[in-house]
Structure 1
Amino acid sequence: MTDNTSTPEPDDGGLTATEQHTTVRERYSEIATGTRADTDTSCCSDTESCCETTAGLPHELGYTEADLDAVADGANLNLGCGNPTAIASLDAGDTILDLGSGGGFDCFLAAREVGPTGRVIGVDMTPEMVEKARENVAKNDAANVEFRLGEIEHLPVADASVDVILSNCVINLSPEKPQVFREAYRVLKPGGRLAVSDVVRTAELPGDRWEHLQADPTSVASCIGGAVTVSALEAMLTDAGFTDVSIVPKTEDSEFINEWDDERDLSEYFAAARIEAEKPASEPDQKQENTE
């Protein structure tokens, strides 16, 4: 694999994992508390957070009017790049985990799908986001939803306890993506599934533009600086143990990416993508046999 998918070291001019986490946490703290000055602007440019949308964009990302009406105000912070619940095929009674749950919008949509016998867990590393999401539980009368503070690289979730993992434009923010997928694999039940909406890099930017974006804290904390290629994500998922990996860039549905940068059309280099994978049903049985 030739992609630079690891966290840049300081002597490479990039950010350390600690610096990336701090930058992302601070940015989303401001969004959660309403103290960020640019939260009503376009998505994911060098000066915006991922993925702050304009009015009407949720429909472009795959949400229906019924989805938007189903969740009380305050949960939809317009921070996504797709609708992972639409590709997840959730069943009644499922246990769902949302990586980087934000205000809880996708969690509350998932809760409607899994019903009262199901369970939804949202994990977010920003305390202010978790507090906001917990306040939204009461607003949505969602007794089967809970939110936990934690990093997606170190999930506060038990082994083999989750049926489906969702995530919406968050994994690209992690400086340790292979670790995220290893953790996802750990917490999924045998036969469990991953259904993610995220941003991928589809082409190399000209000149030193890409190196600049990787080293810029604002870009790293948005949808741009941390995006990797489809082949890199496929390798990470396979290395973590996943099978039936499918990553489909939605270039025709990524017109909003045109607004990310005033200097050039970034839809030539980035796209929203649908990412799916499965944990083999037989793997845990093999591990159990080895421990007996």
Structure 2
Amino acid sequence: MREQVRRKYARAALGVRSEGCCGSGGLETNFACGSYAPEEIGELPEEAVGASLGCGNPVALATLSPGEVVLDLGSGGGIDVLLSARRVSPGGKAYGVDMTDEMLALARENLRKSGLENAEFLRGEIENLPLPDEHVDVVLSNCVINLSTDKPKVFSEAYRVLKPGGRFAVSDVVFLGSRAELPEPVREKVELWTGCIAGALERAEYEQLLAKAGFGEVSVEVQNVYDPQAVEGLEGPEEVEALRKVPVASAFIRARKPAREEASDAGE
């Protein structure tokens, strides 16, 4: 499954120059472009905007401040890293982590074109982040965590690299019902995994797994409910109707790693 995801996003990176804004229009791109204000993306390289394959704008969600250190999980072509780097300047830094060489090459080229000097793209997997403990103030991600087959490890790693009091601010896809009610063919299709659907968590699952990883102040705020007829990979009216009964939505997910004094109080 990981290799299927890697191949899809490698193709997206290589094809971005010919496909225009936000790729080819799959489910994960339905709301991406509209999530960014024109003034936000107006000064970014065209290819950074073209490679946006997310489902929201986690940079706006995170309310970044100068001097903060930011990490974007699954940074793709770099749009959220570049936007973050602008917001945390002066004194701050933005990292992006991605497992796809083609996306990393695209992101680094976009960084060069942007002229920004406070951003860096690292090769790695979001289940095993190449950063030390308590290194960042904010963890972002944009429609990537749902692609992981080990989400508890992702949340554990995000918690590890966050400083005490650090923030988790993610745009992702969630089910607004029981995933178990979906027919197995819909749940297991590779096309739906790589298109950000079948790997999505239920809303309550997201909350529970973040809390289990140690996070507090967890919230899942639904933004857009997807029209099943717009979902790539579905075959026939039965599969479309299945996703009507168990809707899929993009959501803003927020959480916070407790400050040291809070953790101490909880242990007493």
TM-score, length of structure 2 as denominator length:
0.87
Is structure 2 residue 153 aligned with structure 1 residue 179? yes
Deviation at 1:285?
7.6
Mapped to 1, the partners of 2:29 and 2:169 lie a distance apart of 21
Displacement of 1:279 in angstroms is 0.3
Q: What's 1:58 paired with?
A: 33
> Given the alignment of the two structures, is residue 163 of structure 1 paired with residue 134 of structure 2, yes or no?
no
Change (3 A) 1:187 1:57: closer
CA distance in 2, matches of 1:276, 1:244: 7
CA distance in 1, matches of 2:263, 2:74: 30
Match of 1:30 in 2: 11
1:214, CA displacement in angstroms?
2.7
> 1:52 Cα shift?
3.4
Q: For structure 2, which runs of at least 5 residues remain unmatched after alignment?
A: none
Structure 2 residue corresponding to 1:260, chosen from 223, 231, 246: 231
1:220 paired with 2:193, answer yes
1:195 match: secondary structure:
strand
Question: Measured at CA, do residues 208 and 148 of structure 1 come closer, stay the same or move farther in structure 2, by a change above 3 Å?
Answer: same
Aligned counterpart, 1:10: none
| Preserved CA contact (<8 Å) 1:185 1:279 | yes
SS of the residue corresponding to residue 34 of structure 1 reads helix
Q: How does 1:59-138 map to 2 (within 5 A)?
A: 59=34, 62-76=35-49, 77-138=51-112
1:276 corresponds to which residue?
254
Higher relative contact order (CA 8 A, sep 6+): 1
C-alpha distance in structure 2 between counterparts of 1:36 and 1:135, whole Å: 13
Partner amino acid, structure 1, of 2:230: E
**Could you list the per-position Cα deviations for residues 7-52 of structure 1 after superposition, in whole angstroms to 9, with x for gaps in the alignment?**
xxxxxxxxxxxxx2111111111111129999954323xxxxxx23
Task: Tell me how large the CA RMSD over aligned residues is.
Answer: 2.6
TM-score (norm 1): 0.80
Q: Unpaired segments of 5 or more residues in structure 1?
A: 1-19, 45-50, 287-292
Alpha-carbon displacement from aligned partner over 1:177-233 (angstroms, at most 9, x marks no partner): 000000000000010000000000012479753x21332112111111101101111
The superposition leaves residues 117-159 of structure 1 with CA deviations (integer Å, 9 ceiling, x where unpaired) of 1100000011111111111111101110100000000000110
* Number of matched pairs: 255
User: How many angstroms does 1:112 deviate by?
Assistant: 1.1
Instruction: Name which of 6, 25, 29 aligns with 1:42.
Output: 25
